[in-house]
Amino acid sequence: MNGLIVWLDGLFGKLPVFPDGARDFLRRVLPWVITIASAFSLLALAAALGILSTAFVFVPWTWYGTSPLAMLDLYVVTPLAALLGLLGGIGMIRGRAKGWELAVYSGVLLVIGGVITMSLGSIIVNAIGLWLLFQIRSYFSADHNVG
């Protein structure tokens, strides 16, 4: 999967870079935003899918006629992206490079989910999120001490 990060780095490396002060602010704030948004996303998915109720077994009947790709996004892509985002955000709060990688994989999955559901807004917002993650990549490299 490092090939994906190298490819994305080449893609986002061509875009403008924020000043050091803005990147430092993003380094402090973005992990918390990712963690909180992912936690709320997991809770919202659990509620929407009825996992928090006893009627969970009837949820697939309410989606009758929905496209299989939308079901793939709802049941697989989005929950996996939210879980990776939660783990990645927590890892980034702790200053770990692996946390940053997990957050990037979460963003990639969310872009894929936007493509699956043909949601241009989702694609754009999550691509911007990936760009912001690549703005702070240097803070989470193995030789950089985040503190």
**What are the extents of the domains in the chain?**
18-51+68-140
Residue owning tokens 């997990």: 102
Higher pLDDT, 25 or 68: 25
CA distance readout (Å), 50 to 15, 43, 104, 110, 123? 41, 11, 28, 22, 26
Cα–Cα distance between 86 and 31 in angstroms, integer?
Answer: 9
User: What's the pLDDT tens digit per position in 10-66?
Assistant: 999 899 999 999 999 999 999 999 999 999 999 888 877 766 665 555 555 555 566
Which positions ≥6 away from 123 have C-beta within 8 Å?
111, 114, 115
Residue 136: strand, helix, or coil? coil
Tokens of 7: 């490819």
DSSP structural state of residue 53: S
Tell me the pLDDT band of 104, cut-offs 50, 70 and 90.
very high
Average pLDDT of the segment spanning 95-105: 96
Residue 55: strand, helix, or coil? helix
What is the pTM (predicted TM-score) of this model? 0.85
